[in-house]
Structure 1
């Protein structure tokens, strides 16, 4: 069921017409013996019934109208409107809303239990679908958003296993776009448009958080040490080349090995080294 425009006219114009008709029909009421006052009473009754057709439509609001169970249209024009009094009207908000899910526990695609939550920004785009296709579109948005979040979280690892792999923690923009599309696919039938979906909470479950923190720290230490060693080797190589280029001192292979060892200890050590001054000869 798709949205269509329902019948409505300017309420102020209708109100002015009803006031004029009421002023005309009230005059003959004093002559109760004539037929004209009876017609005046009939017109006044019709005018009183017409008052039920007035409705107020606020900005970003829609009135979904039905007649004896049949959908007859939606009114979105703002202000005082008038429609057929027999129409049953239901108000639907078209304003943008926020929904924040609770923290849910789910396993990522590596089997690690994680806690995750999301914030979804959405609005109703088709009032007819929102009212007639689902029983309660607000509850439908909440449940389907959490279902999409659970499905998305189980499709990616928490941390990247490879250099270019997409992960929940390392690619927030990509994950947000994927989650938005996942939710939108589920909410299309309810006439809802998802404007934004992003992760608001992401962490390992408490039972493995300590172990995973140690693993992350170990990975960071290994990565840092690897870079330090690469830089230290380059510095040692540069030092030996400079000494040989400028003919500062000649070193045999054994002395070069000792110098390399000492430089690597100084450059790669995690604590400051204590210098030792050799007061003897060169050899």
Structure 2
């Protein structure tokens, strides 16, 4: 398989001076031989003018001669090449591809919407020009294909196993995997991936409401567990301090009552209204 090879063109300014000299010679010939002698000069002039190329920074020209690849110009400036060369312009600048979110299924079969942002540029002009039909379309199609594969490899969220990689909870690992996948897919077209990351991620509309309730329930359970854990520690600390300072002597019944009251106060999600007992502890 052929690879990119550099082509070193001649300076365009040198040939521009030659053309000016040619025009001077054509004028002298017309003066001495008549206007009919201008025809060969005009043919040579037009042919040489076709060889001029202007290559801007971060641009290239892929040159072919009657279907044969001759090389790639990456040198910028005012240049001149064989006028029979066919030149195809390929930009070497970095480009962004922001895909529209598409509906796919995650590892668990849940329909989700996912979109990616891809930063890429052409690195190998021969492959971009001749290995694929249209390298820009190739990038778009392969990006969508990589999105579908990535979404099918991981669940949207890890409700049960926090160590499992998920699309929402492990963004760095998922983005690294997406970048590796795209680099492998786009290498055939000479494309170098600078960055790839998920730009949009959400449940599909038909299950978004149910999954939101599930996420809220999971968060509530986790918060309640944390509250209970803290409340138990505070009750233990209160009983220990009261016992150490001997402020109150508790029997098992009184201790159970105090623990119940403290747990209600600490775990309740509403303000607690105290009840003043004017009698004894048992009445």
**TM-score tier (shorter):** over 0.9
Q: Establish whether residue 6 from structure 1 lines up as the match of residue 7 from structure 2.
A: yes
> Which residue of structure 2 lines up, in the alignment, with residue 26 of structure 1?
27
User: Distance in 2 between the 1:93 and 1:172 partners?
Assistant: 31
> Which residue of structure 2 lines up, in the alignment, with residue 219 of structure 1?
218
User: Distance in 1 between the 2:166 and 2:109 partners?
Assistant: 14
> Which residue of structure 2 lines up, in the alignment, with residue 144 of structure 1?
142
Q: Over residues 100-128 of structure 1, what are the superposed CA-to-partner deviations in whole Å (9 max), with x where a residue is unaligned?
A: 22221111111111111111111111111
Q: CA deviation at 1:42?
A: 4.1
> Which residue of structure 1 lines up, in the alignment, with residue 229 of structure 2?
230
Q: CA deviation at 1:28?
A: 3.7
> Which residue of structure 2 lines up, in the alignment, with residue 209 of structure 1?
208
User: Distance in 2 between the 1:237 and 1:269 partners?
Assistant: 18
Q: Over residues 31-59 of structure 1, what are the superposed CA-to-partner deviations in whole Å (9 max), with x where a residue is unaligned?
A: 329xxx99986455323311110011111
User: Distance in 2 between the 1:25 and 1:105 partners?
Assistant: 68
User: Distance in 2 between the 1:282 and 1:191 partners?
Assistant: 84
Where 1:170 maps in the other structure, the secondary structure is coil
Q: CA deviation at 1:282?
A: 4.8
The 5 A counterparts of 1:80-119 are 80-119=78-117
Q: CA deviation at 1:17?
A: 2.5
Q: CA deviation at 1:27?
A: 2.0
Q: Over residues 250-276 of structure 1, what are the superposed CA-to-partner deviations in whole Å (9 max), with x where a residue is unaligned?
A: 101111011000000000011111101
User: Distance in 2 between the 1:207 and 1:32 partners?
Assistant: 86
2:29 and 2:37 in contact (8 A); partners too: no
Q: Establish whether residue 58 from structure 1 lines up as the match of residue 56 from structure 2.
A: yes
- The Cα RMSD (Å) is 1.8
The 5 A counterparts of 1:42-191 are 42=40, 45-160=43-158, 161-191=160-190
User: Distance in 2 between the 1:42 and 1:201 partners?
Assistant: 64
User: Distance in 2 between the 1:67 and 1:155 partners?
Assistant: 47
User: Distance in 2 between the 1:2 and 1:188 partners?
Assistant: 13
Where 1:196 maps in the other structure, the secondary structure is strand
User: Distance in 2 between the 1:275 and 1:151 partners?
Assistant: 59
Q: Given the superposition, is the C-alpha separation of residues 41 and 111 from structure 1 closer, same or farther in structure 2, using an over 3 Å criterion?
A: closer
Gaps of 5+ in 2: none
User: Distance in 1 between the 2:26 and 2:114 partners?
Assistant: 69
Counting matched residue pairs gives: 280
